[in-house]
């Protein structure tokens, strides 16, 4: 895999008590900078804006009103990027920020502009850090502008820039035949060749306080990658060095493909 998209969930970046997991962000910066040195092009899709924004504002919970949530996202996005910038700078790795909405990929002109930006950043050895633009995309039901979640955004980005691999980091070791948080007997499935109705039947919602997607959106992302002849690996982001194992071809997490 030469071109790789890495998606990190809120659960990897923010502890359940709301503190920011700086160690995980450090590790991500180190791993991704190292990958660049091995001639891999890496795009990072990062959640966590709201979690970081709540922490920054000293809040324990998401505000109820949507505009207040958007404000927290705007605050958190700036703070998150400044943390990334500082940590990547340790490894002399430059970063750039792309805030996207679904409609961008619908209109040929904006679609092409986004692709051009990705190519220009990657050509200059800059790591693009992507998130959904929460200022513009509001309603989860507003499918025109809203991706709904970063899981699907990461797959849409990956297929559009012809990445062969999407590494999806979450708070769980992989895809199980049931939700491990509610079913003690659930077993990890190391390989899924096709995503169908039976696969979706095994997926449950999010277990984390800040996470939004749960497994359904991760399966939708996997389905999109498979349709484009790509692969997705779902693994635990608790230690982002797991990415080294994945790139070395070691069996980690769940491989979709």
Q: Which residues bind ligand ADP (CB under 6 A)?
A: 9-11, 170-172, 175-176, 178-181, 202-204, 206-208, 211-215
DSSP state of 166: E
Query: 121 or 155, CB closer to ligand ADP?
Result: 155
The token pair at 251 is 């069996």
What is the number of the residue whose Cβ is closest to ligand ADP? 9
Task: Please tell me the distance from the alpha carbon of residue 115 to that of residue 167, in angstroms, as a whole number.
Answer: 20
Query: 123 or 193, CB closer to ligand ADP?
Result: 193
Shortest spacing between CB 76 and ligand ADP, in angstroms = 14
Shortest spacing between CB 236 and ligand ADP, in angstroms = 9
3-state secondary structure of 129: strand
For residue 193, which of 256, 237, 130 has the smallest C-alpha distance?
A: 256
Shortest spacing between CB 130 and ligand ADP, in angstroms = 15
3-state secondary structure of 194: coil
Shortest spacing between CB 62 and ligand ADP, in angstroms = 14
User: DSSP string spanning 86-152?
Assistant: HHHHHTT--EEEEEE-GGGGTSHHHHHHHHHHHHHHHHTT-EEEEEE-TTT---TT-TTT--SSHHH
Query: 128 or 237, CB closer to ligand ADP?
Result: 237
Query: 93 or 154, CB closer to ligand ADP?
Result: 154
Query: 93 or 218, CB closer to ligand ADP?
Result: 218
Q: Determine the distance from the C-alpha atom of residue 199 to the mean position of all C-alpha atoms in its chain, rounded to a whole number.
A: 21
Shortest spacing between CB 201 and ligand ADP, in angstroms = 9
Query: 211 or 240, CB closer to ligand ADP?
Result: 211
Residue count of the chain = 257
Placement of tokens 């929460």 in the chain: 134
Shortest spacing between CB 103 and ligand ADP, in angstroms = 23
Residue 44, beta-bridge partner list = 6, 129
Shortest spacing between CB 118 and ligand ADP, in angstroms = 22
For residue 166, which of 106, 63, 256 has the smallest C-alpha distance?
A: 256
Relative orientation angle of helices 150-160 and 108-123, to the nearest 10 degrees: 80
Query: 33 or 47, CB closer to ligand ADP?
Result: 47
Relative orientation angle of helices 66-90 and 49-57, to the nearest 10 degrees: 100
């Amino acid at each position: 895999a030469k071109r790789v998209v890495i998606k990190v969930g809120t659960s990897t970046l923010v502890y359940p008590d709301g503190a920011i997991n700086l160690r995980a962000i450090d590790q991500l910066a180190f791993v991704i900078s190292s990958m660049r040195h091995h001639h891999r092009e890496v795009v990072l899709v990062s959640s966590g804006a709201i979690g970081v924004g709540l922490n920054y504002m000293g809040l324990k919970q998401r505000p109820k009103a949507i505009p207040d949530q958007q404000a927290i996202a705007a605050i958190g996005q700036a703070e998150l990027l400044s943390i990334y910038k500082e940590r990547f700078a340790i490894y002399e790795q430059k970063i750039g920020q792309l805030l996207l909405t679904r409609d961008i990929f619908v209109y040929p002109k904006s679609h092409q502009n986004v692709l051009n930006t990705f190519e220009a950043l990657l050509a200059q050895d800059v790591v693009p850090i992507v998130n959904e633009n929460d200022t513009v995309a509001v309603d989860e039901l507003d499918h025109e502008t809203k991706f709904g979640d970063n899981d699907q955004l990461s797959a849409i980005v990956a297929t559009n820039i012809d990445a062969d691999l999407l590494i999806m980091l979450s708070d769980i070791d992989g895809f199980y035949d049931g939700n491990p948080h509610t079913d003690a007997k659930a077993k990890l499935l190391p390989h899924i060749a096709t995503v169908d109705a039976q696969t979706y039947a095994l997926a449950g919602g999010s277990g984390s306080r800040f996470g939004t997607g749960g497994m359904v959106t991760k399966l939708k992302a996997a389905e999109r990658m498979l349709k484009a002849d790509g692969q997705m690996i779902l693994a635990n982001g608790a230690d982002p060095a797991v990415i080294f194992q994945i790139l070395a071809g070691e069996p980690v997490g769940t491989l979709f493909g």
